[in-house]
A = this chain, B = another copy of it.
Amino acid sequence: MKYGYLGPKGTFSHSAADFFAKGEETVPFTSIYNVLSAVDGGEADFGVVPVENSTEGSINTTLDTLIFDFDLNMSAQLNMPIAESLVVREGTAIEDITKVLSHPQPLAQCSYYLRENLPSAETVSVSSTTEAMRQVSESSEPVAAIGNKISAPMSGLKGLKEKIQDDKRNFTQFALVSKKPCSVSGENTKTTIAFSVRNEPGSLFKILSIFSIYDVNMTKIISRPMRNRPEEYVFYAELENDSPKDIEESLTMVRRKTSFLKILGKYRLYDLR
């Protein structure tokens, strides 16, 4: 079994892939699209992709690719705590740091720390936290990277400050995605759907009425402009109910009242927080 994930090695995505793979092979890909395309084409049996970060919000590329580009299934989800570290070469002191490199997302997640502790350091966006560490290891300047401290030794670096992200309880939700749906039941089971309604007063309310009648709890809802039809909106929603029959019957009714409905998956949620 092959598990594709958003590379490179040493990122939190890699750790999430390891959680699901349980010792089976994990393969890094260069983009979320490429992970999902590999699962769709059969080059990977499973894909592990980020869906939402507690600080940064939903990962729109993942949502849009699952809604519009491929017909895949979310087979499981995982809440993984994200602890960012300030990582340097041996001998670099915090007061000397002139530049901080990382992926744009960790930079955003540590913006309060950077403003308070390194106000004059320049921040530089690079393609990944692993790439940031590589550049720090090859530099002769007093520069730092932000990333997963577990991977610092891979580049000969060390953690200088730990848990520097603004939100100490920061976590990312990852989805395990496969070509075929898996069967799930029991507690902590969620269903994720995407749907569109006509842009007229009360049309979203009608959909939520249906879920209310069937005692289905909506734990997340995000409206997004529809690709190529920006005046229309698509809603991405996460549903919770212990009875599969209630979910199924509510969705039968929702289908009648929406112009577009796609069930992205029914799955078990794992929580490492």
A residues at B contact (CB < 8 Å): 31, 33, 52, 54-58, 60-61, 103-104, 108, 111, 115, 123-127, 166-171, 199-202, 204-205, 208-209, 211-212, 215-225, 227-230, 233, 235
Residues of B within 8 A of A208 (CB): 204-205, 208
Query: Given A54-B225, A104-B104, A208-B208, 5 more contacts at CB 8 Å?
Result: A125-B127, A202-B217, A204-B218, A204-B221, A222-B223
Partner of A127, one of B52, B124, B219: B124
Residues of B within 8 A of A202 (CB): 212, 217
Residues of B within 8 A of A167 (CB): 227-228, 230
- Shortest distance in angstroms between A116's beta carbon and chain B's nearest beta carbon? 12
- Shortest distance in angstroms between A218's beta carbon and chain B's nearest beta carbon? 6
Provide the main secondary structure of the chain A interface: mixed
Determine whether the beta carbon of A221 is less than 8 Å from that of B219. Answer: no
Give Cα distance in the complex from A56 to B230, angstroms: 11
Give Cα distance in the complex from A57 to B61, angstroms: 9
With a 10 A CB-CB cut-off, give which of A61, A104, A221, A230 has the most chain B CB atoms. Answer: A230
Give Cα distance in the complex from A200 to B218, angstroms: 9
Determine whether the beta carbon of B57 is less than 8 Å from that of A58. Answer: yes
Partner of A125, one of B104, B115, B233: B104
Determine whether the beta carbon of A220 is less than 8 Å from that of B204. Answer: no
Give Cα distance in the complex from A123 to B205, angstroms: 42
Residues of B within 8 A of A31 (CB): 111
Give Cα distance in the complex from A127 to B123, angstroms: 8
Residues of B within 8 A of A224 (CB): 57
- A111 closest partner in B (C-beta): B33
Residues of B within 8 A of A219 (CB): 199, 233
Residues of B within 8 A of A55 (CB): 225, 227
Residues of B within 8 A of A123 (CB): 127
- A273 closest partner in B (C-beta): B230
